Amino acid sequence: MKQYTLNHTTPAALRDGSAWQAAPELEIACYPWDETGYRPRTTARLVWLDDRLAVRFRTRERALRAEARGICPVVCEDSAVELFLMPVPGPGARYLNFEMNALCAMYLGAGTGRADNVLLKEEDPLQFQARSEISPAPGGYDWQLTYELPLAYLARYTDLRALAAGARMRANLYKIAEKGPLPHFGCWSPIDWPKPDFHRPEFFGELVLG
């Protein structure tokens, strides 16, 4: 099982960027359904504070599709990055899916699998403090997405009540674009399934709060 340890940090370290410099990097490097050979290099860093998790993705794209806007559109058709997080693992436990494109359009869901995954349309997107940075790069674009997941939000839909050192969560992280010139489906923790499906919690890796 893939495993990643999140550093504990402070609001000041988030603001000055030192939290991200110190955080270990994971790579979304598994493309189990690759048909085009296009595997954009995508990495992520995650940290935790007493009242939230913070996430930063970085990817280099040859072509950047960004059409969806607002909350709960179908962002997976765009160039998007996704975190599926199960804060309290266990039989029948819920996971939350956070799917965002380069315009910070976000698809928010919760469920135990694809069949019962529900949209969370009433959530205020401002609580996530999402911000995207896009810049030209050789052969395409560099894209960075940063956002925060408040403990209060996580607790509304799961049994999580506190963030503490030693806690273990389950998760997978993804890079996707279902449409556009270069469709692709990448994951951090490998998925052994015959067709593209990110709603497979049995293949989640482990996140440890360090």
What's residue 112's pLDDT?
Answer: 98
Radius of gyration of the chain (CA): 16
**pLDDT tens-place string over residues 79-88:** 999 999 999 9
Strands annotated E in the chain: 3-8, 26-27, 42-49, 52-61, 80-86, 95-101, 106-111, 118-119, 131-137, 140-150, 168-177, 184-187, 205-209
What's residue 85's pLDDT?
Answer: 98
Can you tell me the mean pLDDT for 142-155? 98
What's residue 78's pLDDT?
Answer: 96
What's residue 117's pLDDT?
Answer: 97
Beta partners for residue 106, in sequence order: 71, 100
Domain 3-209, second-level architecture: Sandwich (2.60)
Percent of the chain with pLDDT over 70: 100
What's residue 56's pLDDT?
Answer: 98
Cβ partners under 8 Å of residue 127, min gap 6: 150, 153
For the chain, the domains span 3-209
Phi, psi of 15 (to 5 degrees): -65, -40
What's residue 19's pLDDT?
Answer: 98
What's residue 5's pLDDT?
Answer: 98
Percent of the chain with pLDDT over 90: 97
User: With bands split at pLDDT 50, 70 and 90, how would you rate the model's confidence at 64?
Assistant: very high
What rounded mean pLDDT belongs to the chain? 97
Which tokens is 183 given? 């469709």
- Cβ pair 51, 150 in contact under 8 A: yes
